[in-house]
Structure 1
Amino acid sequence: MPRLVVVCGLPGVGKSTTAARVADRLGAALLRTDAVRKEIRPEPRYDRVESRRVYSRVLDEAHGHLAAGREVVLDGTFQNERQREWARDLADDVDCGFELVRVVCDESVAVERIADRDLDGELSDASLGTYHELMTSFDELALPHVRIDNSRSEAATERQVERWCDQLR
C-alpha cells in the first residue's frame, strides 16, 4: 500500500533537505510546494488565493502518484491545520497510509539559513519577514506526527530520518 508523507514546518528549518532524504529512503516521488508556486507565479505573493492554488495542485499531483501505487513525499510549510487535513483526506480517499513530519530547528539557525540563502539558486522566496509572520500564525499540529530536529549537523538529521524511515517498514 502506498503512503503519503507530509513534511511541514517554518521556512529555513530544513524541510526541503529532510523531505528529499525521506523521499530517497522510501523511493517516493517528491513534490515541493515551492516548485509549484514558481510555476503558478514567478514572483510569488504568498497570499491566501495563491496558497490555495498551490496546495490544490500539489495534492492533485500527489493523487495521481498515489493512485498509481507510488509513495509520495510532500514538501511545504502546511502552516494551517486545514491544509494538513486536506492531505490526510487525500490519503483516506485513495486508501493509503499517511504520515506527518514536522521539521523544527532553533530559531537562530533558521534565521541564519534564510539570511544566507542565495535567492537566485533557491526555489523558496521566503524571507525573514515571512519566517516571523509564519512563526506567529503556524497552527499547532493536532494530527499525530513525528518531529525531526534539524538544528545540528546534517549527519544528526540523517540519523533521525533513517531511524524514522526504518520504523515505517
Structure 2
Amino acid sequence: MIIIVFGLPGSGKSFFASRLADKLNVKYISSDQTRKGVHALGKYSFEDKMTIYHLMAKNVDEDLNQGETVVIDATFHHDAMRAIFINLGKRRETPIRFILIQATDSITKKRLSGIRQDSEADYAVYLLIREQFEMPEIPILKLQSENDNIDRMTQKALEYLRGSYE
C-alpha cells in the first residue's frame, strides 16, 4: 500500500507521517529528506520539485518490490505530483490512500517561525504554496493538526486505513 500524507508547509504532516509510519512499522519517505539526500536544497522550481517526486516514486516502486507499505510525506500541492503516485499505484495494482493534514494559519505561522530539522519552508513559502494548492478530487481523509492531538489524528488515520491495510 502507498499512503500519501500531504498538506501545506507547517501543517504538521512530517511529524504526523513519521509517527504513522512508526505505528504501522512501515517505510517512511520524506520529500525534504529526499531533497537533502540528492543535494537539491534551495532548488524549488516546478521542474525541480517534479524531479524529487519522480525520485520518491522510484524509491517507492523499489520498496513495493520488497513487499513494503510506504508512507510518503510531501506537500503534493499539484495534481501532477499526485498523478505520479496514482499511476504507480494503478500500474502496481497497489492500494493508495491520501491523508491531508491541515492547520490554522496561526499554528502554522508559529511552527514555521522556528528552526525545523529538514524543511527550508518559511511562512512566505507557506503562503505561496497555499495559493498554488490544488485540492484533489479523489477520496481523502482530512485531519486537523493542533498542538496536542497527534494521538487522535493517528487513531483516525488507523481507522481510515484499517479496511485497506488488513
Provide TM-score, normalisation by structure 1. 0.89
Structure 1 contact 21–161 (Cα < 8 Å) conserved: no
Structure 2 match to 1:90: 88
Structure 1 contact 18–161 (Cα < 8 Å) conserved: no
Question: Percent sequence identity over matched residues?
Answer: 21
Structure 1 match to 2:154: 158
Structure 1 contact 81–142 (Cα < 8 Å) conserved: no
5+ long unaligned stretches in structure 2:
none
Most deviating of 28-37 and 16-25:
16-25
CA-based RMSD of the aligned residues comes to 1.6
**Cα distance, 1:81 vs. partner?**
0.9
Structure 1: how far apart are the matches of 2:135 and 2:58?
Answer: 25
Structure 2: how far apart are the matches of 1:167 and 1:14?
Answer: 25
Alignment of 1:134-145 (within 5 A): 134-145=129-140
Structure 2: how far apart are the matches of 1:107 and 1:26?
Answer: 30
Post-superposition Cα deviations, 1:107-149, rounded to whole Å, max 9, x if no partner, equal 1101110002x24xx1100011100000110101112111111
5+ long unaligned stretches in structure 1:
none
Structure 2: how far apart are the matches of 1:23 and 1:58?
Answer: 16
Structure 2 match to 1:28: 26
Structure 2: how far apart are the matches of 1:77 and 1:65?
Answer: 21
Structure 1 contact 26–165 (Cα < 8 Å) conserved: no
Structure 1: how far apart are the matches of 2:91 and 2:161?
Answer: 23
Q: Secondary structure, in 3 states, of the residue corresponding to 2:136?
A: coil
Q: Secondary structure, in 3 states, of the residue corresponding to 2:9?
A: coil
What is the total number of aligned residue pairs between the two structures? 164
Provide TM-score, normalisation by structure 2. 0.91
Structure 2 contact 20–154 (Cα < 8 Å) conserved: no
1:126 to 121, 135, 150: 121
- 1:149 equivalent to 2:147? Answer no
